[in-house]
Amino acid sequence: MKSADVRQLDALSELFAEALAYCRPRSVAVLGIAGGNGLEHVDRNTTTRVVGVDVNPGYLDEARRRFGAQGELELYCVDLAEQVIEVKPVELVHAALVFEHAGTGRCLENALSLVANGGALSVVLQLPSETEQGVGASPFPSLQRLKEDFSLIPPERFCELLEPRGFRLEHETRRSLPAGKEFWMGIFRG
């Protein structure tokens, strides 16, 4: 994700920074926090509570190692596609490239349950590309297995899923990547 050919981590970090600047939340939850990419953009004078959720305990350990000393950081090991998360809601829930892997069933319900009244849901989706596959080429076999559980979700379809739940698209942006991929970010308010 961070190789010069892909550069997804930089783009994802920048999109998270944009969501933080747009929403200026006092509390934020990052779904699929991995090692904490983008947490360096959290302004602790504004955002005093940070929640991280990931299915991989090793990723949570890395996020704790990198960002645990910067203030309150709550980390939860949860399979959002299978389990129900019970965490106090936050003003901004950020989910980047989560729904493509975990689906829009239980995972979406979990995400929405974390959004406090008047809060926002920030979603980053990968757009279809004529030149690049959904999960990029990698010499690591474990990453290639991700292809089996990866499904692109058109932003229009995602908007249709959220509308009956009372969430409306308030802000959107696109980010092109060097290898031909493109990300779409939408910020929804309930």
Is 150 a residue whose pLDDT tops 90?
A: no
Percent of the chain clearing pLDDT 90 (strictly above): 79
pLDDT tens digit sequence for 61-111:
999 999 988 778 999 999 999 999 999 999 999 999 999 999 999 999 999
Mean pLDDT throughout 39-53? 96
pLDDT at 78: 97
pLDDT tens per residue, range 99-146? 999 999 999 999 999 999 999 999 999 999 876 554 454 443 433 344
Measured CA to CA, the distance from residue 46 to residue 143 in angstroms comes to 36
Q: Where are the domains of the chain?
A: 8-189
For the domain with range 8-189, which CATH number is right: 3.40.50.150, 3.40.190.10, 3.40.50.720, 3.10.290.20? 3.40.50.150
Q: By mean pLDDT, which of 145-149, 155-159, 185-189 is the weakest?
A: 145-149
Who has greater pLDDT, 72 or 4? 72
Closest CA to 123 of 186, 181, 170: 186
- Taking 3-state DSSP, the helix, strand and coil percentages for the chain, each rounded to the nearest 5, stand at 35, 30, 40
Question: What is the three-class DSSP state of 178?
Answer: coil
- Predicted confidence (pLDDT) at residue 47 exceeds the cutoff of 50: yes
**What sign has the CA pseudo-torsion 35, 175, 188, 19?**
positive
Confidence at residue 147, expressed as pLDDT on a 0 to 100 scale: 45
Show the 3-state SS of 105-131: CHHHHHHHHCEEEEEEEEEEEEECCCC
The C-alpha atoms of residue 139 and residue 173 are separated, in whole angstroms, by 31
Residue type present at position 47: T
Q: CB count, 10 Å around CB of 57? A: 10
pTM of the model: 0.88
